[in-house]
Amino acid sequence: MSLERITQSEGSIARRYRYDDEELLVADFGTADVSVDVLDDVAIFVVEGAEDNYQTEVELPEGEAQAFINNGVVTVEVRR
């Protein structure tokens, strides 16, 4: 799945950045309550907003992945 479902929530913005040795997935969920789990090559987002609750998966490239959340902004970093 692409980032389309993440950006469907009003006010959410998601971008994917590709560099030589890493790839970043950055999604801003604003005031929604969000959690993310990274399992092998998939990031699972659970979003609970004022009007919309959903769960979605985003495929990740092969590599070592870590997820960080800061003030509603989720960053998934994949080092190759």
Fold exhibited by the domain 4-79: Immunoglobulin-like (2.60.40)
pLDDT greater at residue 8 or residue 35: 35
Rounded distance between C-alpha atoms, residue 5 and residue 20, angstroms: 27
Q: Where are the domains of the chain?
A: 4-79
Q: How confident is the model at residue 1 (pLDDT cuts 50, 70, 90)?
A: very low
Mean pLDDT of 53-75: 92
8 pLDDT higher than 80? no
pLDDT digits (tens, 9 = 90+) for 10-53: 567 888 899 999 999 999 988 889 999 999 899 999 988 887 78
Rounded distance between C-alpha atoms, residue 29 and residue 31, angstroms: 6
